[in-house]
Structure 1
Amino acid sequence: MINITTTGMTRRSFLTAGAAVTGGLVVSLTLPLGIRPADAAAASADTARFAPNAFIRIDHQGIATLVMPMVEMGQGVYQGQAMLIAEELEIGLDQVRLEHAPAGPAYTNPLLGGQVTGGSTTIRAMWQPLRQAGAVARTLLVQAAAARWGVDPAGCTARDGRVHDAAGGRSFGYGELVDDAARLPVPDAATVRLKDPADFRLIGQPLHRLDTPDKVNGRAAFGIDARLPGMKIAAIAIAPVFGGRPAGLDEAAAKAVRGVHQVVTTDEAVAVIADHWWAAHKGLEAAAIRWQDGEHGGVSMADLRADLDAASRRPGAVARDEGGVDQALAGAAQRLEAVYELPFLAHAALEPMNCTVHVHDGACDIWVGTQIPGIAQAVAAGILGIPAEKVTIHNHLIGGGFGRRLEADGIAHAVKIARQVSGPVKVVWSREEDIRHDMYRPYYYDRLQAGLGADGRPVAWTHRVSGSSIMARFAPAAVVNGVDPDGVEGAAEPPYAFPAIRVEFQRVEPRHVPTSWWRGVGPTHNIFVVESFIDELAAAAGADPVAYRRSLLDANPRARAVLDRAAEAAGWGGALPAGHGRGVALQYAFGSYLAMVAEVKVAADGGVRVHRLVAAVDCGRAVNPDQIRAQMEGGAIFGLTAALHGEITITDGRVAQGNFDTYLPMRIDEVPVVETHLIDSSEAPGGIGETATAAVSPAVTNAIFAATGKRLRRLPIDPAALKRA
């Protein structure tokens, strides 16, 4: 059973516990898991705690509270992070409680340089730090027990929350040792002994998700579930053209709606404050808001595509240039060229954007589900003109992030509204506002050229990526010599060996359309482009797509292994009915290797049905194999949804789509069977949350080519292009 509890804790007591926080309340996710009821566990805890680092506190009852540095948004990282700590701390998952981390530098993601959950980095970033945190605590508890017995700590062992002496006849529970352990000097985490993987008891086990029961029964609390005394609800309407602003409204009509208290305007939005959301929503309708569109009111998709096409014809910043591409192309027996396009994509998370804010007494409290607590804190402080430590982020479970909640725009809107409202206010976006004011996966427009030798093998490969640079806004220092590293991930380092290769990045910002992360950005387009074009080369060479790829992988055994496993499991080469085809895609992205085979049927009317997806993945050491399979399934469905249906278009400066009738989700009857095969590996973990999302679209479109002979270079899949006469 999982209970959301709000624990009163002073800043001083939490700092004493070893974590830097911003004061106020700490929202904690409590997982008693069969030890005792949540309220009994909380009542039995006392203030004398052993807290050797920012991630662990152990009380006198032996309850270990684990503070989760990366946030849970359905991807299972609370389970994975807890397993890493508990493995080294030598406790079971039935002996822990979990808390959301507060905003603070103690919870920095070492791969991303900030308190950020994203980029499929949680397990690969925290693989070492969280195990070290658990090992430090275990070491101190063993030392405390050994001191009591007057024995050498090397002869003592920890197991199941107890320390045992060498003979095994005496033991102390962790709760009995916390006071002694708290007085010992904390060793350098880099010096503590980590367990031999052969001794792992949790890591590598397919353990069931701990948060599932309460997500099923409704007890789990997400940001939209925040409830505070005296709280009001705000519905928001943002200028329909990005960069526009309110030009007028009928405030009296809005206030005439029963339950409406106040109408608030900001630089680009209007909010109606009411007792409940429906009154606020009806108040917005009654307000009859007039908007000033600004300079982008006439922008269309034709304009945006023309910008990209023109830019793609110019040389870009060079990400990689090896082997003398121009000379190799000049001497090629055959040359191929192609242009690929991928659309803007929204996130459309199940939980729409929302944020609850209380501005009071020179301080601000925020209840929200965010992937960036530290950035959120700084943004709110900047708007209010107060020190960051006066802003407290009460983080929550997230009902779908996909990169959308790596941005603080929703929090900024809520703070601007809340500073004009007395008492706490929850700002909730309608589904239409959520889709029409998203920050979108960029539109990409790529030009490729390849030269083949007389044997059909590539002698040269060029790839020019044209699109928005999210890193230039989000982390400018990461953009070196004009190259966005995310923009070329999956393109600059393909798994294949090309004698000559040049990859360029041409930054093209889409006038006024905001862009951001989307369950993978660069790889979600680059893998489609690279794997589609390599399929074109195989077809031009008259070669089997799997065999052709395999011939280019002599120097990449991990990539070849996943390709072989996926092909074998999918029955590659076996007979299929008429109208069916198999396609393959291979990638190295997010620190993991993946091959995916899709089996599809294309009907006479051009309708595409994906029957089966077979994936083989080498993500290094598997922390929880069951969770990897779940992420492969979810990621594949997310990516397949986009391939079949996903497209945001701009008309008269506005997003044309507004709800699930125009921005279609995948229906349950469309979902294929997804099989996942894991490659055993002793390598450090790679990322998994976004991996399948990138691979699925080229596997499917390559299967469509196998079934129909028609090559798709633009997404989403257009049935009209596949219709047979």
Structure 2
Amino acid sequence: MAIAGTISRRAFLLGSVAVAGGVAFGVYQYRQPYPNPLGASIGASVLNPYLIIDQRGVTIITPRAEMGQGVHSTLAALVAEELDVRWEDVRAEHGPASSAYFNQAVIAGTAPFAAFDESTAARFTREALGVASKFIGVQMTGGSSSAADAFDKMRMAGAAARLVLIEAAARRWGVPASSLRTADGQVINPANGAQFSYSELAVEAASITPPTEPTLKDRSQWRYLGKSMPRLDMPAKCTGTAQFGIDVRLPGMLYATVRANPRLGGALNSFDASEAKQAKGVKQVIDLGGAVAVVADNTWRAFQAAAKLKFDWGPAPYPASSEAIFAAIAAAFNGPVDDVPVNNGDVSLALASAQQVVRAEYQAPFLAHSTMEPMNAVAQLHNGQLEIWAGHQAPTIIRQQAAELAGLPIEKVHLHVQFLGGGFGRRLESDYILQAVKLAMALPGSPIKLTWTRSEDIQHDMYRPAAIARCQGVMGSAGVPLVVQMDIASPSVGRSFAARVGMPSVGPDRAITEGSAGQPYRIANYRVSGYDPGLQLPVGNWRSVGASFNSFFHESFLDELAVAGGVDPLAMRLQMTADFPVAQQVLNTVAAMANWQQPLPADRARGLALCLSFGTTVAQVIEVSQSAAGVRIDRVYCAADVGIALDPRNLEAQMSSAIIYGLSAAIMGEISFADGAVLQSNFHDYDALRMRQVPPIEVRILENGPTLSGAGEPGTPPSLPALANAIHALTGQRLRSLPLNKQVKFA
């Protein structure tokens, strides 16, 4: 860990790899690549950002935020597989903020086509967006895209490095490179048993031009990929030596916290800091423009003093109460359509001619991210350089915004990305880091550590938007829906986020309907429409974004149609997915796991849901029972098809985590408003499932999909409707609004 930390602070962020005899290796597939952020090693040229080999061994650069999802280990395995090194000799280090690490997959994933659509138009659009992603140059962890984006890039980095190392050895020995082999970080000459370590060859190898399209190992040759590998971050996390943003300590550090208008986006008319300034340990009280910071000699004293501030806050720029906000969302149905991503058949005619139409309205509330590590950042402005230490999911965006705020050239801004104590999309935002930068500008020379209180965190989030769905459907005689129409109104995450990061937002926002649209079902008359109420209330990316509420709407309504038609929910879905073999396999697998056809006692029931999100098809069955203490979740069964399972155990952990996150939201998650302010403030009133409430979760990972797909988010969406459908099967009560604990008592 010591060498990795040294590289991070001095080499990556200052633009050079200051490790004696060190070399950065890799392959970059574009003709005009971004400058390598690792700079130049002593006595050697640099080829690519993904790999450093020095006298101490191998450090693999994993440029996606490690927030507990295991991405550093999975990405490191991609390089290690092709490089041919021992796993125990590998170190992983977060890359610097650089467009060289742009996320191609997350941009390509915005193509306006269903994930299963492999038409020429869909492929062409995804490829075009992939090319455009290079010019956008955003380094981002999100959209369950990390493994898919890195799958080719990082394997090629390892393969190219291995080939130039072999060539370097061949030149030393004066033998053909084809006569040599590699094993466990050594180049070996089979003719005489001679060998060189990679470290011995690193400098010479850096002068050799790597191949641009190295041959990659066949899957049958994989040593690490496809297997459950020990996580590289676990030793430090288990021993308490891992450094999260909140752990950063620097000489001469001052500590701060902030208070901002509880009416989000409202003005700060005035404030009185006289009492706060007299509090013990307080150094300064600083007006940040829209928020006020207290700077003290430790965080607790800053918290205590901030509680003594008195404010005159301006009103909120949105309706003041939850009731009024939902009324504004509902009013969007009377306005223009934002998007119609699905429109098959003639829905209007089919509805008009139907004798029996099933109608339902669903509602989902705003949700906070509630990461275990509250928002925090350290910033220091000294000698014309701005340094930032923080956990963040989009380093290039932060670096650009910080440079603009501080009035510095971007090369003078250095971001040290730390481990994240939870992200879920919240740490795609820049608010807390830019506040720290403002404090560093106000107090140049001193490192300033800004930490939000939990209440500030809960009450100043960029929330998962609330949503309303109005559904109409007709069951056909063949046991499948003849008509489904879904109208969904929800504030636009895309437009809200784009405005905060200074990006243009054009066209419809597919997040409003994702998880309802683009599902692997054939319905003869099928229309999904999205409506944006245009509320000036900050909403953002939350684990699985729009699919988190749309799957609840879509799969709950399909369950209603199955009940109305007197058909088995599984049998109905199997008919509807007949053209989608991946979905069929997922449904059949989860049904077998749960013994779906086996009848249950009267006090037990099951619910089923399917959702395709972020390229991954997931089906879940949740089994519940009635007890004296209330409804109990007894077991969750989950089948997920990720195309290629790089690390099965980690994928299972990701699905389990996503299920717990989804069930917490389903049962108790709600952010509500009064007088323009969020009412919830901490875990006592914005809770999550406790350990005693978490049911056994069984996960089966499948690999039938055509491409590698994501795992961080797709487990969340189906958990909500599967639970609601199970409760209906148990009690006969159809639950159409979240959270469910407003209508049902849970054990």
Question: What TM-score does the superposition give when structure 2 sets the normalisation length?
Answer: 0.89
Correspondence for 1:574 among 594, 598, 612: 598
- Cα displacement string for residues 328-356 of structure 1 (whole angstroms, at most 9, x for unaligned residues): 32333532122111110001101000011
Tell me if 1:668 matches 2:671.
no
Pairs within 5 Å for 1:324-403: 324-403=346-425
Shift of 1:261: 0.8
Pairs within 5 Å for 1:537-552: 537-552=561-576
Pairs within 5 Å for 1:471-550: 471-475=494-498, 481=507, 483-511=508-536, 513-550=537-574
> Following the alignment from structure 2 to structure 1, what is the Cα–Cα distance between the partners of residues 667 and 47?
50
> Following the alignment from structure 1 to structure 2, what is the Cα–Cα distance between the partners of residues 194 and 421?
52
2:24–2:50 contact (8 Å) kept in structure 1: no
* Shift in alpha-carbon separation, 1:436–1:4, aligned structure 2, 3 A: farther
- Matched residue type, 1:491: S
Q: Tell me, what secondary structure is at the counterpart of 1:348? A: coil
Shift of 1:20: 4.7
Tell me if 1:290 matches 2:308.
no
- Matched residue type, 2:325: L
- Matched residue type, 1:349: T
1:436–1:657 contact (8 Å) kept in structure 2: yes
Tell me if 1:55 matches 2:30.
no
Correspondence for 1:635 among 658, 661, 665: 658
> Following the alignment from structure 1 to structure 2, what is the Cα–Cα distance between the partners of residues 69 and 398?
13
Name the residue aligned to 2:5: 5
> Following the alignment from structure 2 to structure 1, what is the Cα–Cα distance between the partners of residues 408 and 696?
52
> Following the alignment from structure 1 to structure 2, what is the Cα–Cα distance between the partners of residues 682 and 202?
21
Number of matched residues? Answer: 696
> Following the alignment from structure 2 to structure 1, what is the Cα–Cα distance between the partners of residues 361 and 336?
15
Name the residue aligned to 1:148: 172
Pairs within 5 Å for 1:301-316: 301-314=322-335, 316=337
Shift of 1:179: 2.3
Pairs within 5 Å for 1:547-696: 547-603=571-627, 607-681=630-704, 683-696=706-719
Shift of 1:450: 1.6
Identical aligned residues as a percent: 40
> Following the alignment from structure 1 to structure 2, what is the Cα–Cα distance between the partners of residues 14 and 684?
35
Name the residue aligned to 1:173: 197
**Is 703-712 or 489-498 further displaced after alignment?**
489-498
Shift of 1:383: 1.3
* Shift in alpha-carbon separation, 1:315–1:708, aligned structure 2, 3 A: farther
1:4–1:220 contact (8 Å) kept in structure 2: no
**Is 373-382 or 572-581 further displaced after alignment?**
572-581
Q: Tell me, what secondary structure is at the counterpart of 1:698? A: helix
> Following the alignment from structure 2 to structure 1, what is the Cα–Cα distance between the partners of residues 477 and 421?
53
Name the residue aligned to 2:159: 135
> Following the alignment from structure 1 to structure 2, what is the Cα–Cα distance between the partners of residues 665 and 11?
41
CA RMSD, Structure 1 to Structure 2 (Å): 2.4
Q: Tell me, what secondary structure is at the counterpart of 1:465? A: strand
Name the residue aligned to 1:195: 217
Question: What TM-score does the superposition give when structure 1 sets the normalisation length?
Answer: 0.92
**Is 411-420 or 327-336 further displaced after alignment?**
327-336
* Shift in alpha-carbon separation, 1:562–1:706, aligned structure 2, 3 A: same
Shift of 1:170: 3.1
1:323–1:500 contact (8 Å) kept in structure 2: yes
**Is 252-261 or 648-657 further displaced after alignment?**
252-261
* Shift in alpha-carbon separation, 1:570–1:84, aligned structure 2, 3 A: same
> Following the alignment from structure 2 to structure 1, what is the Cα–Cα distance between the partners of residues 361 and 318?
29
Shift of 1:235: 1.5
- Cα displacement string for residues 192-214 of structure 1 (whole angstroms, at most 9, x for unaligned residues): 10110000000011112221222
Tell me if 1:99 matches 2:93.
yes
Shift of 1:710: 1.1
Tell me if 1:230 matches 2:233.
no
Q: Tell me, what secondary structure is at the counterpart of 2:5? A: strand
* Shift in alpha-carbon separation, 1:22–1:236, aligned structure 2, 3 A: farther
- Matched residue type, 2:286: V
- Cα displacement string for residues 370-411 of structure 1 (whole angstroms, at most 9, x for unaligned residues): 001111111111211222111110110000001000111111
Structure 1 residue runs of 5 or longer lacking an equivalent are 27-45
- Matched residue type, 1:300: S
- Cα displacement string for residues 648-677 of structure 1 (whole angstroms, at most 9, x for unaligned residues): 001000000001111112111100000011
1:240–1:654 contact (8 Å) kept in structure 2: yes
Name the residue aligned to 2:73: 79
- Cα displacement string for residues 544-598 of structure 1 (whole angstroms, at most 9, x for unaligned residues): 1111111111101110101111111111132333332100111111111111100
Tell me if 1:70 matches 2:93.
no
- Cα displacement string for residues 259-309 of structure 1 (whole angstroms, at most 9, x for unaligned residues): 11111112111111101011111111223x212223548710111111111
> Following the alignment from structure 1 to structure 2, what is the Cα–Cα distance between the partners of residues 157 and 333?
73
Name the residue aligned to 1:37: none
- Cα displacement string for residues 74-125 of structure 1 (whole angstroms, at most 9, x for unaligned residues): 0000010001110011112212222211111111111233100011110011
- Matched residue type, 1:122: S
- Matched residue type, 1:225: D
Pairs within 5 Å for 1:416-455: 416-422=438-444, 423-455=446-478
Structure 2 residue runs of 5 or longer lacking an equivalent are 26-33, 107-132
1:206–1:625 contact (8 Å) kept in structure 2: yes
- Matched residue type, 1:541: G
Name the residue aligned to 1:221: 243
Correspondence for 2:437 among 412, 415, 430: 415
Correspondence for 1:246 among 268, 273, 279: 268
> Following the alignment from structure 2 to structure 1, what is the Cα–Cα distance between the partners of residues 179 and 705?
29
2:641–2:705 contact (8 Å) kept in structure 1: no
Shift of 1:3: 8.2
